[in-house]
Amino acid sequence: MRAKRKADYHHGNLRRALIDAAVGAIATHGVDALNLRQLAARAGVTSGAPYHHFANRKGVLRAIAEEGFERLEAELIAAREAAGVDAQARLEALGRAYVDFAVSRPGHFRVMFHGDARSSGPTAPGLRSFQLLRDAVLACQEAGAAPPGDPAPLVLTAWSAVHGFATLWVDGALPFEEIRPQRMAPQLGRLLARMFAALARTPA
């Protein structure tokens, strides 16, 4: 069995094994606890093996972040399409999907916005994920379900709300045990949609 694992790594699976091991470690212990020596031990390889695929710790974090944004983008699109054509319903669906992603993939989520992972600038998948939210807000504006004008404040409000809640939950910082993302995420999405609709009805 041991020989088979090493043969598999020769064919390119070591990179996958290292990423999976890092994601698991980060989900449990946080980003700052990650180092390549311990990562190699978790993957069952020598301490120098990770350097065949990653120049340093930042390289591992960037790979995790890019993968995370790719998966987030796919889940956001799926949730949006499942919500139908109503602009408010689509915005709510994006909020729920964002929180669901964070809760189900805490290892990825913790890395995606970490300084070391984004020191080379936003990734294309990350920018596309942000664009999905912007497009949803624009659609609400066109439908009269959000106030007209510059969409940026609305986009940042929506993102800050869902990202803030997701981060608090993943980091265990919420002070009340009865708060659960499965219950709160839909309520948060509806609250944002109703707030934007109310602002649309309010004279400038």
CATH code where residue 85 lies: 1.10.357.10
| Separation between Cα atoms, residue 197 and residue 13, nearest integer Å | 49
> In this structure, are 87 and 152 located in the same domain?
yes
% of the chain surpassing 90 pLDDT: 51
pLDDT digits (tens, 9 = 90+) for 146-176: 999 999 999 999 999 999 999 998 888 877 7
- Total tally of structural domains belonging to the chain: 2
> In this structure, are 43 and 61 located in the same domain?
no
> In this structure, are 29 and 92 located in the same domain?
no
> In this structure, are 2 and 70 located in the same domain?
no
Q: For the residues 23-52, what does the mean pLDDT come to? A: 85
What's the token pair of residue 130?
Answer: 């942000």
> In this structure, are 21 and 98 located in the same domain?
no
Last residue of a domain, one of 35, 54, 73: 54
> In this structure, are 106 and 182 located in the same domain?
yes
Q: For the residues 119-144, what does the mean pLDDT come to? A: 86
| Separation between Cα atoms, residue 132 and residue 148, nearest integer Å | 18
One-letter amino acid at 199 equals: L
Q: Which domain holds residue 82?
A: 57-201
The pTM of the full predicted model, rounded to 2 decimals, is 0.85
> In this structure, are 95 and 175 located in the same domain?
yes
Helix (H), strand (E) counts: the chain? 9, 0
| Separation between Cα atoms, residue 47 and residue 176, nearest integer Å | 42
Is residue 145 scored above 80 in pLDDT?
A: yes
> In this structure, are 95 and 195 located in the same domain?
yes
Last residue of a domain, one of 54, 80, 99: 54
